[in-house]
């Protein structure tokens, strides 16, 4: 079957198997390997991308279901003027170690900040609880997202 | 050795704003990870690449009657189906394990655990490979499984390893350390109090978020095999492949790309890696194999599974005299732990912990069961996790029995600063420490007295109303030994645990450091550049760190057991100092003076008494490559290499305190606070060190409260997905409160002790001690991990469950 969607602002059309998962479509068909996968049961949240602005687990979305939707991945976060404040915050606050969950965490953080520009640490913990990180113990991820909340200027420029 | 709290150091700052030496520095590797440009195993795409998938056993113990792959072979996208019978013709059906046992690559005679590898399909895409697995027909004849480790040595237990000549039981090894007779003497004294307990450290799994996988490519023209592998030890893997496949080692290149977390899970050689190699040899095309999460949880290196019977002897006023244990170690169907050869139970004999005892003894018995192989994996510093949990629970149980405050009991028995270097009763020489300082720092930071006062009020209220939560306070003081070797004492498969390192300074003063160790998120590209900066005065941004590629780096045993800084960090310091020494000769030649007339300031050799006369390291680098006449016997260029053979382990330690609130109605545990004071010697990059501690503390909460892999009576793995095997999320973890003391190691060139596993080693006992403390009003003395709501609730009812089995009852707790 054929599917058409917008990925990081660019419309793509592709011939796919109906059973193809969105995560495999992004990685294997489009070469956007910044989105990772970590489990088979939608528990780990490593594969989070944004769909129409909301974070979704791309292992639980068929590529066919993404037809006509706007998909955002980590590769689309950096603007012409530089890193998204979320990306900068993750670097400044050491919010990543192995980097494997980082794209999912950052996509989730961007959606959170778009909806709630000044979240409390507890609101951040609630927002990111769908993605598991084995390296950081989460504290620095919370700080990273707070950093981004406190440095929104770049996001405004990019927007 | 002097100990200090939180030293303030000042180092010069580079043009890019980085410390030229130790200090907080943002990570170099982040630039790619933040943009989704990390390069992990499953990101690798090669032209014509095929995909492998493994058919696995649904049974824990069964004879293979027949395998019919014909329908799978007929699938239009399938290129090959490989079975154990085919591997037998290549003499590849079995492979050596890191413990000197053998493990089936693909089963030939029978399957010995659920999930064992039975056949390997190579197909054009990953979906087709999975489809084809469904087309393979395997006929099994079921055999009775051995699931309960405590029954593995029963006379009527089925024998699992019938492949081993003459094997008539499930016994692997007996191993002892310490002095049994000296213990008998102490325990026999009439005035000692003895506390006894049975403690299970249940089977756990490291579960890095990236599962294991490999891409193998045999170039038939050059005869070169290139393997990209999720490996923490690429050089050790290369040697194993040479031994397994009979391939010449110089024609094997192992590349560990970016690794999505390791925690020990990515040390062993797994059958899938070997299958991918066979797949590329058979098909002539590159073959990728990437396991899914269930395969990762059910078949790759698990951890722990130690059944520990403990006895602790003390005077009535709380002077601990002796500690002993008999321990049963469940190693699964093949003895595939990755640990030093002479230490079949790892470094478990460090179980005397941080206390000054008169006597100690342990006896560990290893057994086969019908479970996945493994044992040493998961940030445990070779079984020190089990040892630290054991001693810290035993001390708390003793405190309970003697009605003593656990903080006071610990303080009373800690090894004192003037006793270092300290010889333990089981043969370890602790290098340095100031334990009382560190414990006091934690107690002060936590406000221990105030917490206990609050707890008194909490309990009074609960006794009066029977409502609300119960507060618990748990302590843990751990000492671990990391950074294996020395090489004469420690080897894996005969490979001594010493690590190579090379440093080359280019003419323009930029450096390349080549390491044998491999990062899985530890930030080596940053930390090791800082070590060179510290020694040579080069800005860290001018030092490129190369690792993870056996064609690009010197030999070494890899990253696990917190080895990187203690071993390769020392190697990096040594090569940098050799470069500095050579730079001195070159500078002297340029300044037409004797090297003895020069003295070092960071980044520059200058004439003693005349600092204006000197050469910077960058100037010297160019001079080293120029036509400057050098003294007789001095070669040009500016480089050095070294193999670092550690003279001893390093011994990081720490004092942890956990505060929990337990809802006795639901059994739910909430971790309110966690205070961790770590002493790992000087911190090269404090930001990275703290990050590693944060991560380890979360792992500890996971093990204490959530993570365990149990089995039912048929040997079905009950932790085979993240729906069953629970990991801590942001909601279960508190905001960590860290502290620091600094006691340098006297034998490490930088004084550093390593930290990667400290928090994983030390934290589970603090959490469990806190929960049991909370439950003490109900008379609870012990309950095994994980302290899930169900287990806590059962403990309150006085009948905590065994957490390794989903059948039977009782026996797991010591009441």
Q: A117: distance to nearest CA of chain B, Å?
A: 20
Q: How far apart are CA B248 and CA B271, in angstroms?
A: 20
pLDDT for residue A157: 46
pLDDT category, B4, cuts 50, 70, 90?
A: very low
pLDDT for residue A40: 86
Q: A56: distance to nearest CA of chain B, Å?
A: 17
Asked if A98 and B210 come within 8 Å (Cβ–Cβ), the reply is yes
> B36: closest CA among A49, A144, A135?
A49
Kindly state the helix (H) or strand (E) to which residue B297 belongs, with its residue range: helix B293-299
Q: DSSP assignment of A21-81, as one string?
A: BHHHIIIIIS--TTS----SSS-S-TTEEEETTEEEETTSSBGGGGTT-EEE-GGGT-BTT
Asked if B695 and A126 come within 8 Å (Cβ–Cβ), the reply is no
Average pLDDT of chain B?
Answer: 96
Q: B800: distance to nearest CA of chain A, Å?
A: 28
pLDDT at residue B5 greater than cutoff 60? no
pLDDT at residue B815 greater than cutoff 50? no
B38 contacts in A (CB within 8 Å)?
Answer: 34, 99-100
What is the mean predicted confidence (pLDDT) over B365-380? 91
Show the 3-state SS of B443-498: HHHHCHHHHHHHHHHHHHHHHHHCCCCEEEEEEEEEECCECCCCCCCCEECCEECC
pLDDT for residue B243: 87
pLDDT category, B808, cuts 50, 70, 90?
A: low
pLDDT at residue B121 greater than cutoff 80? yes
pLDDT at residue B572 greater than cutoff 50? yes
Which chain A residue lies closest to B738 (C-alpha atoms)?
Answer: A139
Asked if B294 and A40 come within 8 Å (Cβ–Cβ), the reply is yes
Q: At what angle do helices A102-115 and A85-92 cross, to 10 degrees?
A: 120
Strand partners, B741: B5
Which chain B residue lies closest to A19 (C-alpha atoms)?
Answer: B127
What is the mean predicted confidence (pLDDT) over B316-328? 98
Nearest to A100 among B210, B721, B723 (CB): B210
The pLDDT tens digits of the residues spanning A55-108 come to 999 999 999 999 999 999 999 999 999 999 999 999 999 999 999 999 999 999
For chain A, how many residues are written? 159
pLDDT for residue B177: 98
pLDDT for residue A154: 61
pLDDT at residue B99 greater than cutoff 70? yes
The A residues from 16 to 35 touching B (CB cutoff 8 Å) are 17, 19-20, 24, 27, 31-35
Asked if A101 and B42 come within 8 Å (Cβ–Cβ), the reply is no
SS3 state at B705: helix
> A67: closest CA among A24, A3, A118?
A3
What is the mean predicted confidence (pLDDT) over B268-293? 97
Asked if A34 and B36 come within 8 Å (Cβ–Cβ), the reply is yes
pLDDT category, B374, cuts 50, 70, 90?
A: confident
B206 contacts in A (CB within 8 Å)?
Answer: 134
Which chain A residue lies closest to B32 (C-alpha atoms)?
Answer: A99
What is the mean predicted confidence (pLDDT) over A26-53? 97
Q: Which residue stretches of B497-540 are H helix?
A: 524-536
Which chain B residue lies closest to A79 (C-alpha atoms)?
Answer: B35
**Predicted TM-score of the model (pTM):** 0.97
Q: How far apart are CA B83 and CA B118, in angstroms?
A: 7
pLDDT at residue B104 greater than cutoff 70? yes
Which chain B residue lies closest to A77 (C-alpha atoms)?
Answer: B35
Asked if B40 and A91 come within 8 Å (Cβ–Cβ), the reply is no
Cβ contacts from A onto B, under 8 A: 176
Residue written as token pair 């005077």? B315
pLDDT for residue B813: 37
Q: What angle do CA B690, B695, B696 make, to 5 degrees?
A: 95
The pLDDT tens digits of the residues spanning B736-780 come to 999 999 999 999 999 999 999 999 999 999 999 999 999 999 999
Q: How far apart are CA B368 and CA B803, in angstroms?
A: 19
Q: Which of A57, A136, A138 to mutate to test the interface with B (most CBs of B within 10 A)?
A: A138
B36 contacts in A (CB within 8 Å)?
Answer: 32-35, 73-75, 77, 103
In chain A, where the domains are located: 2-76, 85-158
| Same fold flag, A2-76 and A85-158 | no
The A residues from 45 to 64 touching B (CB cutoff 8 Å) are 46
Please state the separation of Cα B583 from the chain's center in Å: 38
- B303 CB neighbour count, 10 Å cutoff: 29
Q: A91: distance to nearest CA of chain B, Å?
A: 6
pLDDT for residue A158: 45
Asked if B35 and A87 come within 8 Å (Cβ–Cβ), the reply is yes
pLDDT category, B592, cuts 50, 70, 90?
A: very high
Q: How far apart are CA B565 and CA B748, in angstroms?
A: 10
Q: What is the ipTM score, two decimals? A: 0.97
What topology is assigned to A85-158 in CATH?
Answer: DNA polymerase; domain 1 (1.10.150)
Cβ(B34)–Cβ(A91) under 8 Å?
Answer: yes
B18 contacts in A (CB within 8 Å)?
Answer: none
Asked if B26 and A142 come within 8 Å (Cβ–Cβ), the reply is no
Asked if B127 and A17 come within 8 Å (Cβ–Cβ), the reply is yes
Q: How far apart are CA A138 and CA B533, in angstroms?
A: 30
A8 touches chain B (CB under 8 A): no
Q: Which of B33, B131, B678, B760 to mutate to test the interface with A (most CBs of A within 10 A)?
A: B33
pLDDT at residue B7 greater than cutoff 50? no
SS3 state at B13: strand
pLDDT for residue A159: 41
Q: Which of A137, A141, A143 to mutate to test the interface with B (most CBs of B within 10 A)?
A: A137
A106 contacts in B (CB within 8 Å)?
Answer: 34
The pLDDT tens digits of the residues spanning B249-267 come to 999 999 999 999 999 999 9
Asked if A92 and B26 come within 8 Å (Cβ–Cβ), the reply is yes
Which chain B residue lies closest to A122 (C-alpha atoms)?
Answer: B731
Nearest to B210 among A32, A38, A126 (CB): A38
Task: Tell me the CATH architecture of domain A2-76.
Answer: Roll (3.10)
Asked if B721 and A139 come within 8 Å (Cβ–Cβ), the reply is no
Which chain A residue lies closest to B262 (C-alpha atoms)?
Answer: A98
The A residues from 87 to 146 touching B (CB cutoff 8 Å) are 87, 90-92, 94, 96-103, 106, 121, 124-126, 128-142
Q: Which of A41, A134, A146 to mutate to test the interface with B (most CBs of B within 10 A)?
A: A134
The pLDDT tens digits of the residues spanning B29-88 come to 999 999 999 999 999 999 999 999 999 999 999 999 999 999 999 999 999 999 999 999
What is the mean predicted confidence (pLDDT) over B723-733? 97
């Amino acid at each position: 079957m054929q599917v058409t969607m917008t990925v990081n602002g660019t419309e793509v059309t592709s011939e796919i198997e109906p059973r193809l998962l969105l995560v495999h479509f992004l990685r294997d068909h489009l070469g956007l390997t910044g989105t990772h996968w970590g489990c088979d049961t939608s528990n780990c949240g490593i594969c989070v991308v944004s769909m129409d602005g909301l974070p979704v687990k791309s292992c639980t979305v068929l590529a066919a279901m993404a037809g006509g939707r706007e998909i955002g991945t980590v590769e689309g976060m950096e603007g012409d003027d530089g890193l998204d404040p979320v990306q900068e915050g993750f670097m400044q606050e050491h919010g990543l170690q192995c980097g494997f969950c980082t794209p999912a965490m950052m996509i989730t953080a961007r959606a959170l900040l778009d909806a709630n520009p000044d979240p409390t640490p507890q609101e951040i913990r609630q927002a990111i609880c769908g993605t598991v990180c084995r390296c950081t113990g989460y504290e620095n991820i919370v700080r990273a997202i707070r950093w981004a909340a406190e440095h929104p200027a770049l996001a405004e420029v990019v927007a | 050795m002097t100990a200090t709290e939180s030293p303030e150091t000042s180092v010069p700052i580079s043009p890019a704003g980085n410390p030229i030496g130790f200090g907080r520095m943002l990570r170099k590797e982040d630039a790619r990870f933040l943009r989704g440009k990390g390069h992990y195993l499953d990101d690798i795409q090669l032209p014509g690449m095929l995909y492998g998938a493994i058919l696995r056993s649904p049974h824990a113990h069964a004879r293979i009657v027949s395998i019919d792959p014909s329908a799978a072979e007929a699938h239009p996208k399938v290129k090959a189906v490989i079975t154990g019978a085919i591997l037998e013709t290549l003499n590849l059906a079995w492979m050596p394990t890191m413990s000197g046992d053998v493990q089936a690559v693909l089963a030939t005679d029978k399957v010995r655990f659920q999930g064992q590898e039975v056949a390997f399909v190579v197909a054009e895409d990953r979906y087709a490979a999975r489809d084809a697995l469904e087309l393979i027909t395997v006929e099994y004849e079921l055999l009775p499984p051995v699931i309960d480790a405590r029954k593995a040595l029963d006379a009527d237990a089925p024998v699992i390893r019938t492949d081993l000549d003459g094997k008539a039981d499930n016994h692997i090894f007996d191993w002892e350390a310490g002095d049994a007779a000296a213990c008998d003497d102490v325990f026999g004294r009439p005035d000692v109090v003895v506390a006894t307990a049975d403690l299970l450290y249940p089977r756990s799994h490291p579960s890095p978020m990236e599962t294991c996988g490999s891409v193998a490519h045999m170039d038939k023209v050059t005869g070169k095999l290139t393997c990209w592998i999720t490996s923490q030890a690429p050089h050790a893997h290369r040697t194993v492949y040479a031994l397994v496949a009979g391939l010449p080692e110089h024609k094997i290149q192992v590349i560990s790309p970016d690794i999505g977390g390791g925690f020990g899970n990515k040390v062993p050689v797994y059958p899938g890696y070997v299958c991918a190699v066979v797949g590329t040899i058979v098909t002539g095309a590159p073959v990728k194999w990437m396991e899914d999460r269930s395969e990762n949880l059910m078949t790759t290196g698990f951890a722990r599974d130690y059944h520990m019977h403990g006895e602790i002897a003390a005077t009535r006023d709380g002077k601990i005299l002796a500690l002993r244990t008999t321990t049963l170690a469940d190693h699964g169907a093949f003895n595939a732990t990755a640990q030093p050869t002479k230490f079949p139970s790892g470094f478990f004999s460090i179980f005397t912990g941080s206390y000054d005892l008169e006597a100690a003894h342990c006896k560990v018995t290893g057994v086969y069961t019908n479970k996945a192989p493994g044992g040493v994996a998961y940030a445990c510093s070779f079984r020190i996790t089990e040892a630290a949990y054991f001693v810290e629970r035993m001390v708390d149980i003793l405190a309970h029995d003697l009605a003593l405050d656990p903080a006071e009991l610990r303080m009373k028995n800690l090894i004192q600063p003037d006793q270092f270097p300290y010889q333990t009763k089981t043969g370890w020489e602790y290098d340095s420490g100031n334990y009382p300082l560190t414990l006091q720092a934690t107690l002060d930071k936590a406000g221990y007295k105030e917490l206990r006062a609050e707890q008194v009020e909490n309990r009074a209220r609960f006794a009066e109303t029977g409502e609300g939560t119960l507060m618990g306070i748990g302590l843990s003081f751990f000492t671990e030994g990391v950074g294996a070797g020395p090489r004469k004492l420690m080897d894996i498969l005969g490979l001594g645990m010493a690590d190579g390192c090379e440093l080359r300074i280019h003419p323009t003063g930029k450096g390349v450091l080549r390491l044998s160790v491999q990062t899985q998120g530890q930030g080596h590209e940053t930390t090791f550049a800082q070590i060179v900066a510290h020694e040579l005065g080069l800005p860290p941004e001018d030092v490129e760190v190369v690792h993870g590629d056996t064609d690009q780096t010197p030999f070494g045993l890899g990253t696990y057991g917190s080895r990187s800084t203690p071993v390769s960090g020392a190697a990096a310091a040594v090569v940098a100092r050799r470069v500095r020494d050579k730079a001195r000769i070159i500078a002297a030649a340029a300044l037409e003076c004797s090297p003895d007339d020069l003295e070092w300031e960071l980044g520059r050799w200058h004439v003693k008494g005349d600092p204006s006369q000197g050469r910077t390291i960058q100037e010297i680098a160019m001079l080293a490559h120029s036509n400057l006449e050098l003294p007789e016997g001095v070669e040009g260029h500016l480089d050095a290499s070294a193999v670092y053979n550690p003279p001893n382990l390093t011994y990081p330690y720490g004092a942890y305190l956990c505060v929990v609130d337990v809802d006795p109605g639901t059994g739910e545990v909430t971790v309110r606070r966690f205070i961790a004071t770590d002493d790992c010697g000087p911190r090269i990059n404090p930001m990275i060190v703290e990050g590693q501690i944060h991560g380890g503390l979360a792992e500890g909460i996971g093990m204490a409260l959530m993570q365990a892999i149990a089995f039912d009576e048929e040997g079905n793995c009950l932790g085979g997905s993240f729906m069953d095997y629970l990991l801590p999320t942001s909601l279960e973890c508190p905001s960590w409160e860290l502290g620091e003391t600094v006691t340098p190691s006297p034998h490490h060139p930088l004084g550093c002790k390593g930290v990667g596993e400290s928090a994983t080693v030390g934290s589970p006992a603090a959490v469990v001690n806190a929960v049991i403390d909370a439950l003490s009003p109900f008379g609870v003395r012990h309950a095994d991990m994980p302290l899930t709501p169900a287990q806590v609730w059962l403990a309150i009812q006085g009948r905590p469950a065994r957490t390794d089995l989903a059948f039977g009852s009782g026996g797991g707790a010591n009441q």
